[in-house]
Amino acid sequence: MHPILTNRVRTALYFASWIPVTALLTAVVTRGGQMPLTEAAVMLVPMCVLYAFVCQASWYLCQTLPLREGQTVRLLGTHATAAVVSSAAWVGIGFLWAFLAGPSFQFDGIVDRYLAQLPILFFSGVLLFLLAVAFNYLLITFEVGQRAEQKALEMQVLAREAELKALRAQIDPHFLFNSLNSINALIMADPAAARRMCVLLADFLRGCLKLGSAERISLGEEIQLAEHYLGIEKVRLGARLAVESEIDEECRNCGVPPLILQPLIENAITHGIAPMLEGGVIRIEARHHGALMKIVVENPFEKNGTKHGAGVGINNVKMRLANLFNGEARLDVDETGGRFRIELQLPCDES
Amino acid sequence: MMRVAIVDDEELARKVLREYLGAFGDVEIVAECANGFEAVKAVTDLKPELLLLDIQMPRLDGFEVLELIGREVGVVFVTAYDKYALRAFEVHAVDYLLKPFSSDRLRQALDRARDRIQARQLLPIEDLTASARPPGGRVERVLIRDGANVHVLPVGKIDYAEAQDDYVCFRSEGKRYLKQQTLSDAEAVLDPSQFVRIHRSYILNIERLAKLELYAKDSHAAILRDGTRLPVSRSGYARLTSVLR
């Protein structure tokens, strides 16, 4: 599609840009009284309107002859020929117009005066055509660049989504192997506990597989998954891990994206409790506030520890929220007073 | 009898090792440590021949323990999963145990470790700790061993480091800490945008710099905020100005 003539604003701007051109050409042919002003206007206004269209038609030519290296001669030749032919046809039509319109406007001798201006008009015509060609190439290059940029952006968004999908289905290998090691230890010492741990681990893995592929799950399901996870980690970390949770009953039915809470809880363990010698308490809170739901995950952390603060998990959750809720959800991190606190605000749609 | 110390922060992980080792008969467990500090103390006081050392532990991880005491004792690494650690072990052909492991696998690791100890083969400690760090990772703290105790210096609290024979002396909050290390090794692990080698014998934390004085032709002195003067060599001056710019 023609980039200018198919857009009203651009068309108007384009024709407006011909007003000074028309004025300039009028000034040129009236210089030193060679042509009276009214006569020049009667000649040049229709001629310029016509030529504005002719010059725009050069866009189709540019489109079929894209700028490529090694074709400069062919390109220049074609456009120069097109410019000469167009300009010749243009001044020819001008001549016809002078011949036909001269008598009805009672401009005596207009044909001779026009013929005297013919060379300069022809030269201007060639120049204007070539200018339009250059302008069209600029426009084409710009549009190609813009399209490529947009495409790259779309690709980036797609890649990110795929990455996040893969991530949320992923189970931390450190967690998995440590859990197996705990079971291995319990088999001799406490077979009943080993069996309980096997069931917990199976429930957690099944939950991840099932929930990871769903679009929306209830917060209740997400919390239950977190409870399985924390149950397993309690066996491993022993007295170092304590959990407190306060969940409003009406929140449990709210729909959430699957595994949105899980990375935050994992973060609280791996970057909070596990690096601490004496461990600590993880607090989980979910509150209903009108149409919103507020979820808080809070844990202590070691200030000069080997690992601290936020892992990649939190950034992924942040990005998923931005993608899924278009700015209606937020995640805030607060690290004051030796406690790491994540506050999640989501719209609550009960399902 | 081989004298072994178990170092793991998880009670259940220690339990498995205790159970396996107990059945071997030629191994004596001299210490069970729940963290790196206890490990340093146990090595100083009890002189075990071998540590079974977990990588991911609170406060001091396995590599930091190795850096502090690895020259005095044989080490077998134990880990569940750690991307960087596993790669470091592969690169340097170091034996390690992956949790959960069988009793046979532990036996094999102990035998290999015994051979290494008898052949007086030491682990490539510096290379191993360097390649176990995430790419581009710099240390955030410097560990100093003082007998059975360990001091942890966050790098932000270090004013400067000075070479002293076979040691590096770190100055932090008015105190001096000696660490057996070369100044170049210290330089390599510190963030070069914050710590600059201003002289053959000095590395300066540029946040402590108050001003630079021309001292003689071609040589400067760095005046720190607390008034300490440190010499700055010609090449040190060039490095300093390029970082400060």
Contact A299, A273 (CB under 8 A): yes
| Cβ-based neighbours of A289, under 8 Å, separated by 6 or more | none
Q: Which of B35, B80, B141 sits opposite A177 (nearest CB)?
A: B80
Q: Using an 8 Å CB-CB cutoff, list chain B residues near A183.
A: 100
Number of A–B residue contacts, CB under 8 Å: 70
Which letter does DSSP use for residue A102 in this model?
H
CA angle centred on B67, ends A182 and B207, rounded to 5°: 115
pLDDT of residue A304: 64
Q: Using an 8 Å CB-CB cutoff, list chain A residues near B173.
A: none
Q: Indicate the CATH number for domain A169-347.
A: 3.30.565.10
Longest CA–CA span in chain A (Å) reads 121
Average pLDDT (B88-102) is: 89
- pLDDT grade, residue B175 (50/70/90)? very high
pLDDT of residue A315: 82
pLDDT of residue B147: 86
pLDDT of residue A184: 95
Which residues of A lie inside 8 Å of B (Cβ-Cβ)?
173-174, 176-178, 180-186, 188-189, 235-238, 274-277, 302, 304-306
Average pLDDT (A157-171) is: 68
Average pLDDT (B186-202) is: 92
| Cβ atoms within 10 Å, residue A348 | 21
Residue extents of the structural domains in chain A: 8-161, 169-347
The model's pLDDT over B218-232, given as tens digits with 9 standing for 90+, comes to 789 999 999 999 999
The model's pLDDT over A9-55, given as tens digits with 9 standing for 90+, comes to 888 888 898 999 999 888 888 887 788 888 888 888 888 888 988 88
pLDDT over threshold 60, residue B50: yes
Phi, psi dihedral angles at A170 (to 5 degrees): -80, 140
Closest chain A CA to residue B99: A181
Average pLDDT (A233-242) is: 93
Residue extents of the structural domains in chain B: 2-132, 141-244
Average pLDDT (A134-148) is: 88
Share of chain A above pLDDT 70, in %: 94
CA nearest to A126, candidates A76, A70, A165, A183 = A76
Phi-psi region of A70 (alpha: psi -120 to 50; beta: other; left: phi over 0): left
Of B12, B14, B64, which to mutate for an interface test with A (greatest number of A Cβ within 10 Å)?
A: B12
Closest chain A CA to residue B16: A185
Which of A176-180, A202-206, A237-241, B121-125 is predicted least confidently? B121-125
Please name the helix (run of DSSP H) or strand (run of DSSP E) that holds residue B5, with its range, or none.
Answer: strand B2-7
Q: Which of A173, A185, A277 sits opposite B81 (nearest CB)?
A: A173
DSSP A253-268: GBEE-TTSSHHHHHHI
Q: Do A237 and B10 touch (CB under 8 A)?
A: yes
Of B6, B10, B106, which to mutate for an interface test with A (greatest number of A Cβ within 10 Å)?
A: B10
Q: Annotate B183-201 with three-state secondary structure.
A: HHHHHHHCCCCCEEEEECC
Q: Using an 8 Å CB-CB cutoff, list chain A residues near B58.
A: 274-277, 302, 305-306
Contact B6, B20 (CB under 8 A): no
Q: Using an 8 Å CB-CB cutoff, list chain A residues near B9.
A: 274
Distance, CA of A275 to CA of B54 (rounded, Å): 13
Q: Which of B64, B100, B154 sits opposite A184 (nearest CB)?
A: B100
- pLDDT grade, residue A153 (50/70/90)? confident
Q: Using an 8 Å CB-CB cutoff, list chain A residues near B154.
A: 304
CA angle centred on A332, ends A329 and A336, rounded to 5°: 165
Please provide the average confidence, as pLDDT, over all residues in chain A.
Answer: 86
The model's pLDDT over B9-18, given as tens digits with 9 standing for 90+, comes to 999 999 999 9
Q: Using an 8 Å CB-CB cutoff, list chain A residues near B10.
A: 178, 181-182, 236-238
pLDDT of residue B86: 86
Distance, CA of B30 to CA of B41 (rounded, Å): 12
Which of these CATH numbers, 3.40.1010.10, 3.40.630.30, 2.40.50.1020, 3.40.50.300, describes B141-244? 2.40.50.1020
Average pLDDT (B44-71) is: 90
Q: Which of A186, A277, A304 sits opposite B35 (nearest CB)?
A: A277
> What kind of fold does domain B2-132 have according to CATH?
Rossmann fold (3.40.50)
Q: Do A184 and B61 touch (CB under 8 A)?
A: no
For B140, counting Cβ atoms within 10 Å of its Cβ (0-12 exposed, 13-18 middle, 19+ buried), the class is: middle
pLDDT over threshold 70, residue A162: no
Q: Enter the pTM of the model.
A: 0.67
Longest CA–CA span in chain B (Å) reads 72
Contact B201, B168 (CB under 8 A): no
pLDDT over threshold 70, residue A1: no
pLDDT over threshold 80, residue B136: no
ipTM: 0.81
Q: Do B99 and A181 touch (CB under 8 A)?
A: yes
Q: Using an 8 Å CB-CB cutoff, list chain A residues near B141.
A: 304
Q: Do A181 and B16 touch (CB under 8 A)?
A: yes
pLDDT over threshold 90, residue A213: no
pLDDT over threshold 60, residue B165: yes
Distance, CA of A135 to CA of B127 (rounded, Å): 61
Distance, CA of B67 to CA of B25 (rounded, Å): 30
| Cβ-based neighbours of A9, under 8 Å, separated by 6 or more | none
Q: Which three-class secondary structure state does DSSP give residue A138?
A: helix
Contact B208, B224 (CB under 8 A): yes
User: Which residue is listed with tokens 């467990």?
Assistant: B29
Q: Which of B59, B80, B141 sits opposite A181 (nearest CB)?
A: B80
Q: Do B154 and A183 touch (CB under 8 A)?
A: no
